[in-house]
Amino acid sequence: MTRSLHRWFGLIAAIALCLTALSGATLSIFPVADAVTNPASQQISVATLAARVQAAEPTVEQIKQEPSGRIVAFYFDGNTPVSSIIDPATGAPVGEAGKSDLERWLIDFHRAYLVGDNGRYAAAIVAGLMLALSISGAFLLARRAGGWRHILKPVSGKGQSRLHTIVSRIAVPALFFSSITALWMVAATFDVLPAGSAAPMFPETVSGKMGFDLAAMEPLQNTQLDEFRSLTFPYANDPTDAYRLKTSAGEGYIDQGNGALLEWSDANWVDKTTHLATVLHTGQGMAWLGLILGVSALGVPVLGWTGTAMWLRGRKGPKIASVAEADADTIVLVGSEGGTTWGFAATLQTALMQHNLKTYVGPMNTFDPARWPHAKRLILLAATYGDGAAPSTASGFAEKFSQSPARSDMQLAILGFGDRSFAHYCGFASELTERAEKSGWKTLVPFETVNRQSPQDFARWGRALAGALDLDFELNHVPALPKTWRLTLISRRDYGADVQAHTTILRFALPHASLADRLTGKMLPKFEAGDLVAIVPEGSNLPRFYSLASGSKDGFLEICVRKHPGGLCSNQLTAMEPGQEITAFIRANPDFRPARGKRPVVLIGAGTGIGPLAGFARANQNGRPMHLYFGARHPASDALYDHEIAEWKADGRLTTVATAYSRLANPLYVQDTLKADAANLAKLMTSGAQILVCGGREMAEGVAAAVAEIVEPHGLNLKTLKAEGRYAEDVY
């Protein structure tokens, strides 16, 4: 509900919001200019000020202080009415008052779109939308982060969703602030607030005398400049008139014949709040605040754009001709956030239909076993929104699912789609699996997960499914390929042939980008070690992802590939000779890299997992503490990057290096070296170090267990470290 509200408000209002935000951002510059040019303020009373101004300009009619602190006086020069900025030190005019045409135009545009009261109503609606968006957005931020406590932790995810999150985290507080003060100001303008204190009535009787010395008037002497708002002089030669004084405390009349306070009414909280809202919204007298609000407003177009793009992508819903629920023997229910899971569902449905299974595919919210008289199996494809939450098309599904009794004539399979960089990887799918076990559903195939839309993970689960159904099919899911580049191999280094772990370090040249490519953004995107390169092998459209062992700053693209028997892509790669080409594209993986700053980094990996870790070490030019724990089979055979590691240790890019070999007389795994070095590691972690783990899943599980064991006595735990981005994995 929060999400769809956020979406619809956002779409409707995007354009109006952008216009209001951009004009507001521009307006925030003016208070800064005012702050620079305003004459210095003075610690004087209004009596002193008024006397000075009257001496300098005897025809003065009114003196007022603008919220920016600027003193302005209105008087006549001959018959010409003049408004001037006053230097309170002398009371003399120092320049013309009034806003420039540009500023007035911007204000009118910002608050009324140049069309008067109807425009003001529209602008008020826009401010209301902004407020609704800020609030719903803050809740989404919290939900995405896994709770309010984690709202400031590093952002996981990628692309537009990541950008949307980062920008909104910065801008939301200011936008909330701007919109709520704006609404208050509109309400004040249209008199819909609770009543302010009524202005005092003009006094019934005055002394009838004139010419009391301004400087000697007690009410003015008792008012300091910082609380002064305005002083209106009586009409010339009208003994029935009086001075009118306004201050932050209230307003009243002063007798021009004896200086006595005649009437007074105190300002109430509504008056004070209205003044405060104006000052806070416009940043007058608080230029720094205005600038913060203005800069945050610049985030609105970015949020509008990324939000709309995300929504458009998510809209690509089911486009598959489906069998009716009542006729189906196989029910596939999809809970998708961004829409990509529907693509996997389509691949699954095509394969099942080819084998004459009557397959119904629908969103999870259509769950209703009573409408499936012929169903024999239920397959749930469950994506996870953010950190463990249910996706939008499955809100409320978990409830319905656990309340509904298991059908003894049906079998159940659950496949989770998620991103391992989140702490609750596939949290929603795991939750469903637990509920299914409790209700007693029969298992068709065991629970599996697909990391980052990996076609390989999906194909592996597909083989298990085909086995369970006693059918022969492959789930070759081909996501739409992004733009690809051709990469040329420069060099290769081979390791591990004699320990049955043929591994090659492949180095590719960066594709040459012409000027036109650069201008049109068609060059290979910038990448860093730890990002992924997708290789599209000959004879298949399924890209395979490898972790990058270099950044684009190194001037080459490097990966470590282990040859798998029968592996199409690894066989092609490990057979490449310098000069040959391969098709590839880059996918960012911003959550797996050393955090900014000087804190120590602990690199842990085994086998080809050394690749990105070597890349991090190579890029560590500033000698930040980096500790490498590395597992291989035999020092003489598969010690990848052996020369470089020695060199990096010598020049300080690596602080310590510990290696574990599993094929020596005394076999060691990388988690063993961690345990042996537990004291050091615990010290590093309590001092704020970050751990980056890369390698196979079994190794990663062993490492996670070892690290948990080491840090727990020191009051740390793996879950928190992961949530803080201090324990990141790249696992395959």
Partner 1 sequence: MKRFMAILALTTALSTPVLAHAGQVTLTTNMANYRGPGAYLAYYVTDANGKYVGSLWMAGGKSRYYEHLRGWYRASGGNTGDINGITGASVGSGRKLEVSLNLNDALFDAGYELHIDAAAEDMRESPNEIVVPLTSAGSGKAIKGTRYIANFTYSR
Cross-strand pairs, 601: 626, 690
Q: How many residues bind partner 1 (CB under 8 A)?
A: 24
Q: Which 402-421 positions form the footprint of partner 1 (CB under 8 A)? A: none
Q: Is 402 helix (H, G, I), strand (E, B) or coil?
A: helix
CB atoms within 10 A of CB 541: 13
Q: Can you tell me the distance from the alpha carbon of 391 to that of 28, in angstroms, rounded to the nearest whole number?
A: 39
DSSP run (H or E) holding 86: strand 80-87
Residues 6+ apart with CB under 8 A from 631: 605, 606, 607, 659, 660, 661, 662, 668, 669, 670, 673, 695, 699
Residue 501 near residue 567, CB atoms below 8 Å: no
**Which stretches of 92-169 are assigned E, i.e. beta strand?**
92-96
Residue 195 found at the interface with partner 1 (CB under 8 A):
no
Of 188, 289, 310, 658, the one binding partner 1 (CB under 8 A) is 188
Residue 204 found at the interface with partner 1 (CB under 8 A):
no
488's tokens:
């040329």
Residue 62 found at the interface with partner 1 (CB under 8 A):
yes
Residue 270 near residue 196, CB atoms below 8 Å: yes
Placement of tokens 């809100």 in the chain: 395
**Which stretches of 205-338 are assigned E, i.e. beta strand?**
228-232, 243-247, 250-254, 261-266, 330-335
Of 15, 96, 104, 463, the one binding partner 1 (CB under 8 A) is 104
Q: Can you tell me the distance from the alpha carbon of 283 to that of 296, in angstroms, rounded to the nearest whole number?
A: 13
Of 66, 325, 581, 709, the one binding partner 1 (CB under 8 A) is 66
Residue 201 found at the interface with partner 1 (CB under 8 A):
yes
User: Smallest distance, Å, CB 80 to partner 1?
Assistant: 8
User: Smallest distance, Å, CB 202 to partner 1?
Assistant: 5
For residue 609, the number of C-alpha atoms closer than 13 Å in the C-beta half-sphere is 26
Residue 190 found at the interface with partner 1 (CB under 8 A):
yes
| Nearest to partner 1 of 102, 513 (CB atom) | 102
Residue 79 found at the interface with partner 1 (CB under 8 A):
yes
Of 9, 74, 630, 669, the one binding partner 1 (CB under 8 A) is 74
716's tokens:
């740390």
Of 189, 197, 308, 571, the one binding partner 1 (CB under 8 A) is 189
User: Smallest distance, Å, CB 196 to partner 1?
Assistant: 8
Residue 98 found at the interface with partner 1 (CB under 8 A):
yes
Q: Can you tell me the distance from the alpha carbon of 408 to that of 410, in angstroms, rounded to the nearest whole number?
A: 6
Give the dihedral of Cα atoms 682, 687, 692, 698; nearest 10 deg.
20
User: Smallest distance, Å, CB 158 to partner 1?
Assistant: 48
Q: Which 110-129 positions form the footprint of partner 1 (CB under 8 A)? A: 116-117
| Nearest to partner 1 of 66, 709 (CB atom) | 66
User: Smallest distance, Å, CB 294 to partner 1?
Assistant: 20
Q: Can you tell me the distance from the alpha carbon of 498 to that of 611, in angstroms, rounded to the nearest whole number?
A: 20
| Nearest to partner 1 of 148, 190 (CB atom) | 190
Cross-strand pairs, 728: 692
| Nearest to partner 1 of 93, 386 (CB atom) | 93
Residue 598 found at the interface with partner 1 (CB under 8 A):
no
Residue 349 found at the interface with partner 1 (CB under 8 A):
no
| Nearest to partner 1 of 203, 590 (CB atom) | 203
Of 8, 202, 269, 288, the one binding partner 1 (CB under 8 A) is 202
Of 40, 43, 101, 237, the one binding partner 1 (CB under 8 A) is 101
Sheet of 62-65, strand order: 92-96, 80-87, 71-77, 62-65, 228-232, 243-247, 250-254, 261-266
Q: What SS3 string covers 291-313?
A: HHHHHHHHHHHHHHHHHHHHHHH
Residue 224 found at the interface with partner 1 (CB under 8 A):
no
Residue 108 found at the interface with partner 1 (CB under 8 A):
yes
Residue 273 found at the interface with partner 1 (CB under 8 A):
no
Of 191, 470, 472, 577, the one binding partner 1 (CB under 8 A) is 191
Q: What angle do CA 540, 544, 548 make, to 5 degrees?
A: 145
Residue 472 found at the interface with partner 1 (CB under 8 A):
no
| Nearest to partner 1 of 190, 269 (CB atom) | 190
User: Smallest distance, Å, CB 257 to partner 1?
Assistant: 17
Residue 199 found at the interface with partner 1 (CB under 8 A):
yes
| Nearest to partner 1 of 232, 330 (CB atom) | 232
Residues that bind partner 1 (CB under 8 A): 61-62, 66, 74, 79, 81, 83, 98-99, 101, 104, 108, 116-117, 188-191, 199, 201-202, 232, 235, 241
